[in-house]
A and B are shown apart, each in its own frame.
Chain A
Amino acid sequence: MSATCLLNNTPDADIVAEFEPRIIGFLCNWCSYAGADKAGSSQTPYPPNVSIIKVMCTGRIDPQFVMKAFNEGADGVIVLACHPGDCHYKEGNLRAAQRHAMLIRVLEQMGIEGKRCRFDYVSAGEGEKYVQVITEMVATVKQLGKLSLID
């Protein structure tokens, strides 16, 4: 996916526009992963920068996963959950929302902009919302630029 976008580089293009971020997406199997499928099957184009990791519920996402993603080169991380009330494990999504809010505070203190880590809700039927959220996320991270860690 990301290999093809590197071909778009033109020497005199603005640096921000050239940069193609690498984003890791943790998607719940029951909702947003199916939402991504829906976007795909309806052939709606969206930026190819997100590498998806399917999880059984966003409540399974250990904050270590997110930190590891940043540490190993991700410029952004996106977590997509079932809407409140729709989580298959009752409240895994709310647990994830709480962890996300704390994680953002810690990441900000570490100099990683909160916007690099987004939490949102996308249902299985919301192919369009999926496309919108991914498009926004890629634009946001493009604007923030590459994330470089200490040494």
Chain B
Amino acid sequence: MPEKPKLAIYWAASCGGCEIAVVNLHEKILDVDAAFEFMFCPCLLDTKKKDIEALPDKSIAITLFNGAIRTAENEEMARLLRKKSQLLIALGSCACEGCILGLANLHSKQEIFKAVYLDNPTIDNPAGTIPSPASEVPEGTLTIPAFYDKVKTLGQVTAVDYFIPGCPPESHQIWNVVEAVVSGAQLPPAGSVLGAGCLSVCDECERVKEDKKIARFYRNFEITPEPRKCLLEQGLLCMGIATRDGCGAPCPQANMPCTGCYGPPEGITDQGARMIAALGSILDIGDCKGKSEEEIAARVEALLDSVPDYAGTFYKYSLPGSIIGGRVKR
């Protein structure tokens, strides 16, 4: 029997949800196993880094890389797997856009260390120790991978062939990609998004859309939405309008506004800016006739005041991949 092509699934800074999404292929996982030699996945298998280092370059057919780049180790593994793989595919929002942990980019590394290791009420750290790449101890120097100033996407540290968005990607979409690769189908040009659409979640959402005019925002706990009407039209901040389709819109169908996990739609770099553009078109500040410029500005501000965290809401999954990328140095 000829050797099966090798498949690796690696996690960098991530939660493990992408692995769960792969396991959620259920019995199809057997088809994956039939088509590939599944040989590296720290979450499930015992292969070591040195085994990967020992492989000839490009000997892994596909690496599905999930997780963002938070530490020097994440970057080292990304580069190693790039070298050893024919196809390096960013699996999931963390690798594609930085995802939830990318929200850390709204804070400096010092602020994060302070919150986690010094001010955290459940931590006992009288010596005020914070992680450092090298620490001197009587036995010698201990080293750990450096914690970067900001979270990066996979594409920001190495060349990526394809991107599969989602937090996590829907299992059937992972399957679609695996199936396409296995069948030898012609893949789109490198850099393309796979396992998703080119429109927005609204295009897949079955809720009834009418003229959009939002007179005020509601947070999720404030109202019970009507079952069939578009959530955004009801004042809930549904990100579907600024999010790539492909998931099948499970969240709005379950009465939860889309939070944007499939990232920006085709052709858009900045999901938050997209959401601002969209909301600007549909917020209803009422009749402005005869109102002074100051009154108009005050009414806009009053309308906006009900949402406490715009960056966190609009960039929940995409801050490191956005245009500005996070908090700027000052």
Q: Are B285 and A109 in contact (CB under 8 A)?
A: no
Q: Are B280 and A96 in contact (CB under 8 A)?
A: yes
Among residues of A, the one whose C-beta sits closest to the C-beta of B274 is A64
Least CB distance, A79 to chain B, in whole angstroms: 12
Least CB distance, A43 to chain B, in whole angstroms: 28
Q: Are B330 and A102 in contact (CB under 8 A)?
A: no
Query: A112 an interface residue at 8 Å Cβ cutoff?
Result: yes
Which residues in chain B, 252-285, are within 8 Å of chain A measured between CB atoms?
268-270, 272-274, 276-277, 279-281, 283, 285
Query: A55 an interface residue at 8 Å Cβ cutoff?
Result: no
**A residues contacting the other copy or chain, number (CB 8 A):** 34
Which residues in chain A, 54-96, are within 8 Å of chain B measured between CB atoms?
62-64, 66-68, 70-71, 83-85, 91, 94-96
List residues of chain A with CB within 8 A of the CB of B289. Answer: 85
What is the bound-complex CA distance between A99 and B314, given in angstroms? 13
Q: Are B296 and A150 in contact (CB under 8 A)?
A: no
Q: Are A67 and B279 in contact (CB under 8 A)?
A: no
Which of B46-54, B170-178, B202-210, B321-329 lines the interface with chain A?
B321-329
Which of B89-97, B226-234, B297-305 lines the interface with chain A?
B297-305
What is the bound-complex CA distance between A147 and B324, given in angstroms? 12
Given A63-B276, A94-B296, A103-B276, A109 and B311 contact (CB-CB distance below 8 Å): yes
Query: B149 an interface residue at 8 Å Cβ cutoff?
Result: yes
Q: Are A111 and B327 in contact (CB under 8 A)?
A: yes
Which residues in chain A, 90-148, are within 8 Å of chain B measured between CB atoms?
91, 94-99, 101-103, 105-107, 109-112, 121, 147-148
Among residues of B, the one whose C-beta sits closest to the C-beta of A61 is B277
Query: A151 an interface residue at 8 Å Cβ cutoff?
Result: yes
Q: Are B291 and A64 in contact (CB under 8 A)?
A: no
What is the bound-complex CA distance between A62 and B279, given in angstroms? 12
Taking chain A's interface residues, is the majority helix, strand, or loop, or is none over half, making it mixed?
helix
List residues of chain A with CB within 8 A of the CB of B330. Answer: 111
What is the bound-complex CA distance between A151 and B276, given in angstroms? 26
Q: Which of B281, B288, B296, B314 contacts A106 (CB 8 A)?
A: B314
Q: Are B269 and A110 in contact (CB under 8 A)?
A: no
Among residues of A, the one whose C-beta sits closest to the C-beta of B304 is A101
Given A68-B323, A97-B296, A150-B327, A63 and B277 contact (CB-CB distance below 8 Å): yes
Q: Are B269 and A98 in contact (CB under 8 A)?
A: no
Among residues of B, the one whose C-beta sits closest to the C-beta of A83 is B293
Query: A149 an interface residue at 8 Å Cβ cutoff?
Result: yes
Q: Are A101 and B329 in contact (CB under 8 A)?
A: no
What is the bound-complex CA distance between A62 and B270, given in angstroms? 10
Least CB distance, A31 to chain B, in whole angstroms: 13
Chain A contacts to B: CB under 8 angstroms: 62-64, 66-68, 70-71, 83-85, 91, 94-99, 101-103, 105-107, 109-112, 121, 147-151
Sample of 18 further A-B pairs with CB below 8 A, known A64-B274, A94-B288: A62-B277, A63-B280, A64-B269, A68-B323, A84-B293, A84-B296, A95-B280, A95-B281, A97-B296, A101-B300, A103-B276, A106-B314, A109-B310, A109-B311, A109-B312, A112-B324, A148-B329, A149-B329
